[in-house]
Every structure is written in structure tokens, then in C-alpha cells.
Chains A and B, each alone.
Chain A
Amino acid sequence: MEKIERIRVGGLKVLEGGACVVSSSPSGGNRLGEKICAPLALNRINLSLLAHVAGDREVLCTAAPEGESALSRLQFHAGPDSSLELLPGTIVLAVYPHSNRPEIIGHFIRSLARGRIKIHALASSPSAISAVLSSRRKKAAVNQLFEHFLFPSFDSPRDFFSAQGPPEEYVQKVVATYQEKVIKVYAIIPRPDLDLWGMSVPSADVLEGFASALMDLAGLGLSVPFLVAIPGLGGKEFLLSFSLAGPTPEADHGPEVRRLLKKHLPDSRPMRLTPVAGIFLHGPHFGDRYGIAYTLLQALAQARVTLLALSCTISSISLIIRQHELALAQMVLGKTFEAQVE
């Protein structure tokens, strides 16, 4: 039996009592803003996670009682070519900090894949990697994570579960909802000189191959500041999109990355867009307040900045745009949000 070397990380988090909506539409424009986020904001529906890849699809999570409502609002606004699917009874499971290290993100995905735990979606924040899973698989997933990671606060899954507060405590946290005239964020951090990779795999079942590729990428000294994975409808096909950064912007690791991806996922056709830039909005706490993602998307659309990919999870928003639009995007986000802009 293969000996698993456990990686030490800071902690893990489970956000329970959720529902997930998978949405797909071939239409472009500001569809995510106007057809998805606007109706949710208008109906004061909070998002606990949102992952999107431009021109194709997105997955969003909300509190379970809001799931049906979110679906019906989206159905009302969806175009004839859109498809929507509700996955009730989901959790968001996150490990942190990943420190942009591909081996940590790879280890996370591998641990769930080896436990045959179906991943509905993946999304990264500046510090954490999150997976959307069925709530029925919560214990199995946490057990798997303990086999692959060391957590300083907990010796075992049992320790972890016994430390979880009662549901009332979670509710008290969630009801701490407030709206600001200007949304505050801790910081808006730009990150130029990234690659954006995109590839489709037949299902979440082959994610272990992707995890292995990520672990090999660590050997090239690459970091992963951004990652989302979104299912197709009915769990068929899985879209992966992630950004890579090299130790120096000059070095081109593209061919080697492509080789490693093909090695572990031979049927995939990885596509690469370069250069792109990331913008990381630390801490708008979108999960506690409706409408934050919509505010962001409106601002970008008005400035005609094209969003390539988006991840909202934990308390931050990460977005990928074309590099030449970075200065414009920074300016518009600096005006939209109250933040220290680096």
C-alpha cells in the first residue's frame, strides 16, 4: 500500500446547510452579471460560493432554504439556450492556507478523489481551496483529508467534529448581515503575468489525474494563484480553469505544463491564454451580504473589462482578466470598493 506523506496546513472548514445551482449557457456578454447575479441580488439571496468560466458556465452555492428560490429566479431570467440544475444538500469543504502551492491543492483534490467523493465544484481564494460536495459525504471527506493533511488544531476527524459548534452558532454568524453603501474590502491585490489554462475532462472521476499533474507542477516551481472547476449538467464533463505563475515572468513553462497535463490526462486538450492578470479582492465577505458579486460584475461591465474567470469563496473574490485591461480594472474596482489598493 502506498504510504501517504501528510502535508501540514493551517486548518479546515466546513460550511454546512447549502444548496448548489449549476448553470450553463453559450451566450456571452455580461450574462453572469445580468442573468445570474442581478436576480439573486434583487431577491437578497446571499452566495456562499460562486465559480465561473467566461462564456460557458458557473456554479453557485447558497443556504439550503434559498436553493429553490435561487433556481426559480434564475429560470425566470434564463434565456432559451440556458440550462440550470439544482443540487440540494451540499457543503463547502475548505483547506487553508494553500499558499498557492500546487502540491497542496493537488493533495486536496487527490484526497477527495481517492475517497471516491464526488466533487461538484472547486474554487480557490487567496488562502483556501474549497470543494462543493454532497452533505452526505461530509464525514468521509473529512476522514480523507485527515489521511492526507496534518492540522495543528485537531489530531483526528473526531477532534474536528467534536469542536464544531451547534447549528445555532452558525445561524447566529450568518444573521450578522449588513449592507454598506460602499463595500469595504481589506485589499485589492493585482497580479500580472499569469497564464490561464482551461480544459475539459469527461467527469469529476478523473480529477485524481489532474491532482497528479498539479503535484508535478510543483516540481517546476510554479504557483497556482487561481483555480475553479465546474461540472457540466448532470455531472457529465468537468471544466477546469486555473492560473499559473512562474518564479520569473520571463521563463515560459507552457510546453512543460502542457506535457504534464497530457501525461496525467491523456484525453484532455489543454488550452492556454497568456498573459492574463489576476485581481484578488480580499475580504468583501460576500457570503454575509447579498449583491457583492453583482456590484463587481456591473463595475467591470461598465468599464468594458472582459472577465475570463471568477472565484468567490471563503471571504474573497478572485478574478482573471486580460493583462492589458489590468490598469482599467484596478481603477474601476478602486472606485467601486473601499479598499487599500496596492
Chain B
Amino acid sequence: MADKKYVLIVDDDPDLVETVSMILESKGYDVGKAYDGIEGEEAIKKRRPDVLVLDVMMPRKNGYQLCKELKSNKWTSDIPVILLTAVGEAVPTTTYTHAEGMSVEAEDFIPKPVDAKTLVEAVERLL
């Protein structure tokens, strides 16, 4: 069990968490789940993920905030982060911007809806 790579998914859409965990578990990863930024933060304290898959738009603490905090902490700055975002040209009205996303130093961006192949490739690239 311990040699399985651990991927933590943090998203407030429970159906997405379910789907992404199903995809990653089928590829042999150990998957943790959290449903908002603060719960994600707690989960990271309990077990350090090998990769963090993080939604941007979440209640309490959004993905950018959590990513920024992780990257500015020397104990967590090297946790690879994949941001899942509906942010893009197709969503001009949102308050979450790409510029903000770039500034938080996430390792990768994947637009929603997530293509399973793209996600698995992104996770594998970061391990």
C-alpha cells in the first residue's frame, strides 16, 4: 500500500471528485478526496500527496489561495499541483483569471471538463 503513489483531489463538485478518483484508482493510484480548500489543507497535513489535483473555484478557500500558500511554504512548495479550471476564453465573465493562476506557480493547468487521458498523463508527468 505504501509504495502506491498518493494523489489528492480537492474539488467542491462531488461528482467530479468521484469521477477523477475512479479514473486514477483504475490506474493504480491511491486517491484521497477533499471537498473544499480548507479540507484539502487538512488532508495535506495528514498525508503529503505525491500530486495534488486542485479545483480553482471552491468555497472557503479557493484553489489559487491554497496553491499560493503551499508554494510559499518550504515544507509543501515542492508538491506538484495540477489546477482544474473552467477558466478560459469560453468563460469571460468569471472573476478567476489565468493571470492569477500563473502567478500561483501551479505545475499544470487542465481545463474542465477534464479529459481522463489528459489528466492521467499530467499526473504521470509530475510523478
Q: Which residues of A does B touch, CB under 8 Å?
A: 10-11, 13, 94, 96-97, 125-128, 152-153, 163-165, 169, 172-173, 175-178, 180, 184-187, 189, 282-285, 314-316, 340
Contact = CB atoms under 8 A, between A and B. Distances in A.
Given A163-B59, A178-B91, A184-B113, A283 B14 contact: no
A96 B21 CA distance: 14
A283 B36 contact: no
Interface string B79-101: 00000001000110111000000
Contacts of A172: 93-95
A163 B35 contact: no
B38 to A, nearest CB: 6
B25 interface: no
Contact of B93 (A152, A176, A315, A340): A176
Interface string B16-45: 111110110000000001011011001000
Given A11-B14, A176-B91, A284-B113, 16 more contacts: A11-B36, A96-B35, A97-B18, A152-B39, A152-B42, A163-B60, A172-B93, A173-B57, A186-B20, A186-B113, A187-B116, A283-B15, A285-B112, A315-B15, A340-B23, A340-B115
B20 to A, nearest CB: 7
B18 A126 contact: yes
A332 B81 CA distance: 36
Contacts of A316: 15
B15 A128 contact: yes
Given A185-B113, A314-B13, A10 B33 contact: yes
Most chain A Cβ neighbours within 10 Å, of B35, B91, B95, B114 = B35
23 contacts: A13-B14, A94-B14, A97-B14, A97-B18, A126-B15, A127-B15, A152-B39, A153-B35, A153-B36, A153-B39, A173-B57, A185-B113, A186-B15, A186-B114, A187-B19, A282-B15, A283-B16, A283-B19, A283-B112, A283-B113, A284-B113, A314-B15, A340-B115
B74 interface: no
Q: Which 5 A-B pairs have the closest CB atoms?
A: A96-B14, A127-B14, A127-B18, A282-B19, A11-B35
A184 B116 CA distance: 11
B35 A315 contact: no
Q: Is the interface of A mostly helix, strand, loop or mixed?
A: loop
Contacts of B91: 176, 178
A186 B116 contact: yes
Interface residues of B, number: 32
B4 interface: no
Contacts of B93: 172, 175-177
A10 B91 CA distance: 29
Most chain B Cβ neighbours within 10 Å, of A127, A128, A186 = A186
Contact of A128 (B14, B38, B94, B117): B14
A189 B116 CA distance: 13
Nearest to B36: A153
Contacts of A126: 15, 18-19
Contacts of A125: 14-15
Nearest to A316: B15
B114 to A, nearest CB: 6
A316 B59 CA distance: 20
Contacts of B114: 186, 283
B16 A187 contact: no
A306 B89 CA distance: 38
Given A97-B14, A153-B36, A314-B13, A178 B59 contact: no
A94 B16 CA distance: 15
A153 B38 contact: yes
Contacts of B36: 11, 153
A151 to B, nearest CB: 9
